[in-house]
Structure 1
Amino acid sequence: MSHNAFVSREVERLVTGVPVSDGAGVKLKRVLTHDLQRRLDPFLMLDEFRSDNPDDYLAGFPDHPHRGFETVTYMLAGRMRHRDNAGNEGLLSPGGVQWMTAGRGIVHSELPEQQDGLMHGFQLWVNLPARDKMTEPGYRDIPEGDIPVVQAKDGVGVKVIAGVAEDTVGAVTREATQPLYLDIALDAGTRYEAAIPAGHNAFLYIYEGELAAGERGQKVVAGQMAVLANANPAASGVSLQSVDGARVLVIAGRPLNEPIAQWGPFVMNTREELDAAFEDFRAGRF
């Protein structure tokens, strides 16, 4: 019996993260920037934070508001304390994920709960459809032990944060955007074919080592994002091959194809909705 051959997406372009400062002076690498929001709809932003210098992160992110989207914080090293005005509190520990739905409005803080050592992780912003932008805020702390890890083959481990991989349902599912969020570890000399739903916008972010992506073998190194092409409707995912070992995030989602109106921490569909968000925040209605 034969099976359908895997057809890989190719790399459309490479993007190198840019250093920025956010919160109370936390140093970050911003990878998915404003100019890519339409191309990578429903994703709005991806930051990597990585430092063993406490001066780079100790001030953290004091109280700040959000409306109209979801934030996904994935911690590899270090600990971050979350508090919000809905009464939620949680400690994000190594390997864990915080998935927060800002909805109609939330004010929260994210403060490091350590004085020294390595702080390393990512924050991804996922847009909400117009119908859900004013939904009730929500918050979920997902410890490392609750996130499935699949040994896809010898030398390849797949951590399924969201979506489905290797017939394993991840820790989070969403109906509207159907996000796929995988953390894949490839040992030296391994190859893996990561399935990606047709029609999803998708990208890779390499944070350790380097790999060759797609059948053309596009080289992607640590600190680079590879935007994956949508051109071939027969493509079933992306092939990844590593010579010396790599760690890579594979992120994909179903586009909303809706207008994006953003000002800072508010993401709505129109300027009028942004004005209303400002007014509601100033009036203490979050």
Structure 2
Amino acid sequence: MAQKHEQQANVYARGIRRVRHAGIRQVGPGHRNSYILEPGLWEEHDPFLFLAEDWFQRDSFDLHPHRGIETVTYVMEGRLEHFDTKTNEVDYLLPGDAQWMTAGRGVIHKEDPAPGETVHSLQLWVNLPRSHKMTEPRYQNLRAADMPVRSEPGATIRVFSGSSGEAVATTANIVPVTMAEFTLEPGASVKQELPGSYNGFLFVLEGEGRFGSGDAKGEARDVLFLESAEGHAASEIRLTAETKLRALLYAGQPIREPVVARGPFVMNTQEEIVQAYEDYRNGKFA
């Protein structure tokens, strides 16, 4: 028992270092967008590049390439068709499903709502380390029905990647990432453990709550950035619901490498970006 108390005492309780509210903009006919995680703040967000929320109709995103990253697409509403030139097959993501796509050395794909539908989705870009920028592409479809779930009094946690309590996802990661969705009834409180080295943030989908050791206030469309727990082997973040609360947690191991991004390509040097465009033009992508 004494050993258990000692282990608990060594878990660092994280606070919230910054809160920002994510606005919504009209991109074009049938397409609205919000940057939950703004691009360009590479060091602050490491290993994440950006997180975009979109409401879009068919033909908003045509065939396009990627290299040097992973994309994590979570469908919240609508039916999303996915086509890529590696498999030459059409697959579908339904509400609650997600796709973890490793672009690696290069993919060309298309994400399109089914005819007549509007899809509401979140897409995260995860950076890849230099050693894996040119890895073989792969797709992992994470189906809602198969998602590991942690249940606590007044709380349900769906685990897309990493773990929460005893619920462990089978998602294969190159960069270690924990992604989980928390649904809490009013008054419920849960803690999520994370390695102390992880960098991360929460995005409130609906409701109001208090977050972290300082009980920072968060409400729908707020982004709450976790304070650093560097130097601690283990850390935890507490979520408490004031009204019914839905929030997503994204946290991962920083890469700490140079980032050079241009369009759909993210590499370490400008020369590698030039090479990526040359390879794409010469038909060397999947």
Task: Provide closer, same or farther for how the CA distance between residues 221 and 36 of structure 1 changes in structure 2, counting only shifts above 3 A.
Answer: farther
Q: Does 1:253 align with 2:252?
A: yes
Tell me the secondary structure at the aligned position of residue 237 of structure 1. strand
Tell me the secondary structure at the aligned position of residue 131 of structure 1. helix
2:17 to 4, 12, 30: 12
Task: Provide closer, same or farther for how the CA distance between residues 23 and 110 of structure 1 changes in structure 2, counting only shifts above 3 A.
Answer: farther
1:19-72, CA deviations, whole angstroms, 9 ceiling, x for partnerless residues?
35669863211111123321121101101224xxxxx42333110110000001
1:67-114, CA deviations, whole angstroms, 9 ceiling, x for partnerless residues?
000001011221100001102431011111111111111110000014
Contact 2:197–2:229 under 8 Å retained in 1: no
Distance in 1, Cα, partners of 2:259 & 2:138: 22
Residue 196 of structure 1 corresponds to which residue in structure 2? 194
Q: Does 1:159 align with 2:158?
A: yes
Residue 144 of structure 1 corresponds to which residue in structure 2? 144
How much has 1:8 moved relative to structure 2? Answer: 2.0
Q: Mark the runs of 5 or more structure 2 residues left unpaired by the alignment.
A: none
Contact 1:15–1:226 under 8 Å retained in 2: yes
Q: Quick one: percent identity of the two aligned structures?
A: 37
Greater Cα shift, 36-45 or 269-278? 36-45
Contact 2:196–2:229 under 8 Å retained in 1: no
Task: Provide closer, same or farther for how the CA distance between residues 106 and 22 of structure 1 changes in structure 2, counting only shifts above 3 A.
Answer: farther
Distance in 2, Cα, partners of 1:67 & 1:111: 20
Amino acid in the other structure paired with 2:245: A
Q: Does 1:32 align with 2:37?
A: yes
Q: 1:47-126 residue pairs with structure 2 within 5 A?
A: 47-50=52-55, 56-87=56-87, 88-116=89-117, 119-126=119-126
How much has 1:143 moved relative to structure 2? Answer: 1.6
Contact 1:75–1:120 under 8 Å retained in 2: yes
Normalising to structure 1: TM-score of the pair? 0.91
Tell me the secondary structure at the aligned position of residue 227 of structure 1. strand
Amino acid in the other structure paired with 1:181: M
Q: Mark the runs of 5 or more structure 1 residues left unpaired by the alignment.
A: 51-55
How many residue pairs end up in the alignment?
278
Contact 1:30–1:47 under 8 Å retained in 2: yes
Task: Provide closer, same or farther for how the CA distance between residues 83 and 132 of structure 1 changes in structure 2, counting only shifts above 3 A.
Answer: same
Distance in 2, Cα, partners of 1:92 & 1:173: 19
Distance in 2, Cα, partners of 1:236 & 1:150: 19
Normalising to structure 2: TM-score of the pair? 0.91
Distance in 2, Cα, partners of 1:43 & 1:155: 30
How much has 1:277 moved relative to structure 2? Answer: 0.5
Residue 280 of structure 1 corresponds to which residue in structure 2? 279
Contact 1:24–1:59 under 8 Å retained in 2: no
Tell me the secondary structure at the aligned position of residue 279 of structure 1. helix
Residue 212 of structure 1 corresponds to which residue in structure 2? 210
